[in-house]
Amino acid sequence: MIFRLLVAAIVALAFLWIFFTYLAPLFAQPTNEIEKIFEGLPLAKTSPGQTTSLGIIAFSRDDILRSSAFSESGTDTILECNSPFHCCDKGNRCGSKARWDEQQIQFSQHQNTPVFLRCDEQFDFFACTIFVGQKPPQIELQEPSFETTLDLAVKNMFSVSIDIQNTGEAPSKPGLIEWRLLKKTDGLFESPAIVIGQEPFESLFPLETTTTRIEVTVGVEGDYQLHLKAIAEDAGFEEQIIEFQASNQSNPCRALTQQAIQKTFNTIARLCTEKFFCTECYLATHCKQAWEQERPELSFELGDYSFTQTISISTQQECQ
Q: What is the C-alpha separation between 54 and 82, in angstroms, rounded?
A: 15
pLDDT digits (tens, 9 = 90+) for 124-171: 899 999 999 999 999 999 999 999 989 887 888 999 999 999 999 999
Distance from chain centroid for Cα 233: 11
User: How do the pLDDT tens digits run along the chain, 320 residues long?
Assistant: 554 544 455 545 555 545 444 444 444 444 567 888 999 999 999 999 999 999 999 998 888 999 999 988 889 999 999 998 888 999 888 888 899 999 999 998 998 999 999 999 888 899 999 999 999 999 999 999 999 989 887 888 999 999 999 999 999 999 999 999 999 888 888 777 888 899 999 999 999 999 999 999 887 888 999 999 999 999 999 999 999 999 876 678 889 999 999 999 998 888 999 999 999 887 788 899 899 989 999 999 999 889 999 999 888 778 87
Q: What backbone torsions phi and psi does residue 36 show, to the nearest 5 degrees?
A: -60, -30
pLDDT by residue (tens digit) across 244-274? 999 876 678 889 999 999 999 998 888 999 9
* CA distance linking residue 261 with residue 275, whole number of Å: 6
For the chain, the structural domain boundaries read 31-132, 139-247, 254-313
**Residues 6+ positions from 220 with CB-CB distance below 8 Å:** 152, 183, 246
Task: Express the helix, strand and coil content of the chain in percent, nearest 5 each.
Answer: 15, 45, 40
CATH architecture of structural domain 139-247 = Sandwich (2.60)
Instruction: Note the residue count of the chain.
Output: 320
Cβ pair 178, 195 in contact under 8 A? no
Whole-structure pTM value? 0.68
